[in-house]
Structure formats: C-alpha cells, structure tokens
Amino acid sequence: MAMARTTTLLLVAAALLGASCSAWEVNIRMPTSAADVDEAVVAPLIHALRPLLGSGKHAGVECDSWVLGVEAHNVRDWKTVPASCEGYVGHYMLGKHFRRDSKIVIDQALAYVDNLKLAGNGKEVWVFDIDETTLSNLPYYAKHGFGATPFNATSFNAYVREGSAPALPETKRLYNKLRSVGIKPVFLTGRTEDQRAITVTNLRRQGISGWMNLLLKQPGFKGSAVTYKSGERQKLQDAGYVIVGNIGDQWSDILGAPEGARTFKLPDPMYYIG
Ligand SMILES: *[C@@H]1O[C@H](CO)[C@@H](O)[C@H](O)[C@H]1NC(C)=O
C-alpha cells in the first residue's frame, strides 16, 4: 500500500515537473520577428525586450525606463529626449507601440463615458488639448530628432502654419463618441490666439468639427501651462459648465484644480511642457 502510494506521488510529481518544464520553455522562447510581440498570447518576453525595442547596444531597457519615468511624471522639466534614446523614441512613435498605448487610454475613457449618468442639459463638456492629443506633430518631430534636438520655435511654428498635422485616430474615436452622447468638446491649447485660423483649418481638414469652444493663449500671458489651463477650466466651471473629462499628453494639461471629474494622459515621450 505504502509502496503504491509513493509510486503514485512520484508519477504526479513527474507529471507536474514535465508541465512546468514545457511552460518554462515557452516563457523563454525568443521571438523570431518583430511581429511576435504583437501577439497577445505570447508569454512574457523579458529577455527579448532589449534587442526588439532598443535603438543601440545598451539603450533599450534604459530608454524604456526613461519613458516610464516620463509618463509617470517622475522625470520632470526635461528639455530634450536623451540623445541615446532618439532611436528608441522614434521606433516607439512610428511603430505600433504608441498607437497601442494610446488605445488603452481611449478605451478607458470610452468605458468611463459609457458609465456616466449624464444630465444631458447641454452643460457637460470635455476638455481636449490639441498638440499630441488631438493633432499629431509627428511629421515635424520625425525630421527633428523625435525631441532629441532642442525645440526650435521658428521651424515648429512654420510647420503649424501649414495646417497639415494629422488627427490622432484614437482621440478622434473619443471625440466622436462624446459628440454622439451630447458632451461638448472644448479645445484648450497652448497654441496662441494668432494661430486660431490655421488651427481651425487644420482641425476641419482632419474631419474634426462641432466643438463648443477653442481656447487659445492670449498675447502677453506669462504664467505656466498649469496656471493658464487650470484658470481656463475655472472659467468654464464658473460659467456653469461641468467638466466631465479632460485629456492631454502633458501632465500640465491635467494638473491644477479644477482638473475635471476624470483626467486621461496620453503618451508623449518627445517633449515636456511644465
Ligand atoms: C531654427 O529654425 C530656423 C528655420 O528653419 C533656422 O533658420 C534656425 O537656424 C534654427 N535655429 C537653431 C538654433 O537651430
């Protein structure tokens, strides 16, 4: 009897070991192509991150950590993307990673909207930032080091004047959803009043219309982005509007009372506005 039980236990142990061995083999499988990382079923690819995502010999994991620090607002007040991360940020922005990260944000925003108990009184608004939130300046940044070279207002403003910035498709999904449920979009941007006409043209060219308000920075304003944007949100609230949501790519879009009932932060590893 005792003998039989021991044999059974050994067999069970052998079966478990066998199972865990094959699971481990799956876990350490190295991807053979970049497409492998997009498969949801792929087991953790910890060892594969560097060669897949890195721009150089050692840059991969370091740049991954740097971007996480930026997104979590632990890394602040930086002027340029670290030179060794230019390639990493470029791959991130141009490949599927940025779109995938943006989709997570927008899916959460859509779920939040679906669960809102709306008053439907025409007073409910959603604040959108413009650059890197509604419109993408990636065509410009792709030619200027993905943020690794110092910001040049002259050349950037020339790009803005073309009015050719593409809409960010994930944000557009949210924008259209909000309009369909009667939440009014309000644009609140660090762009200046003199850029109003080209900004309207650019938004319309991208199929974006029907906003309630387009708030631009007035000439002579000297405060920080947080002061400017929170001040404008306060004015909205004072006028009787309820800010049900607020979305931006910068922490300065979503910090400072009144923030809005819920805030959403889109990824932006290319520049920092404090
Ligand atoms: C900024 O861009 C302008 C226009 O392209 C160029 O003439 C100027 O040299 C640039 N400035 C710097 C510091 O690179």
Query: Which of 232, 226, 265, 261 has the alpha carbon at shortest distance from 104?
Result: 265
Please answer whether residues 252 and 273 qualify as being in contact, where contact means their C-beta atoms are separated by less than 8 angstroms. yes
Instruction: Give the distance from CA 108 to its chain's centroid.
Output: 12
Q: Find where tokens 């910001």 sit.
A: 151
Question: How far does residue 154's CA lie from ligand 1's centre (Å)?
Answer: 6
Among 141, 155, 157, residue to substitute to test ligand 1 (most atoms within 8 Å of Cβ): 155
CA pair distance 85, 90, nearest whole angstrom = 8
Which ligand 1 atom sits nearest the alpha carbon of residue 153? 1
| Domain residue limits, the chain | 20-265
Protein residue with least CA distance to atom 5, ligand 1: 155
Instruction: Give phi and psi for 154, each to the nearest 5.
Output: -60, -50
The pairing of strands 242-248 and 263-265 is parallel
CATH of domain 20-265: 3.40.50.1000
Question: How far does residue 151's CA lie from ligand 1's centre (Å)?
Answer: 10
Question: For the whole model, what pTM was predicted?
Answer: 0.81
- Which residues, listed in sequence order, are joined to residue 162 by a DSSP beta bridge? none
Instruction: Output the six-digit token pair for 135.
Output: 């419109």
Q: Find where tokens 């930086």 sit.
A: 78
CA pair distance 53, 269, nearest whole angstrom = 14
Helix residue ranges, H only, the chain = 2-27, 49-53, 59-71, 86-94, 96-114, 138-141, 153-162, 169-180, 196-205, 225-238, 251-254
Per-residue pLDDT of the chain (274 residues; tens, 9 = 90+): 444 554 444 444 444 334 433 343 333 333 344 444 343 333 334 333 343 444 444 444 699 999 999 999 999 999 999 999 999 999 999 999 999 999 999 999 999 999 999 999 999 999 999 999 999 999 999 999 999 999 999 999 999 999 999 999 999 999 999 999 999 999 999 999 999 999 999 999 999 999 999 999 999 999 999 999 999 999 999 999 999 999 999 999 999 999 999 999 999 999 999 9
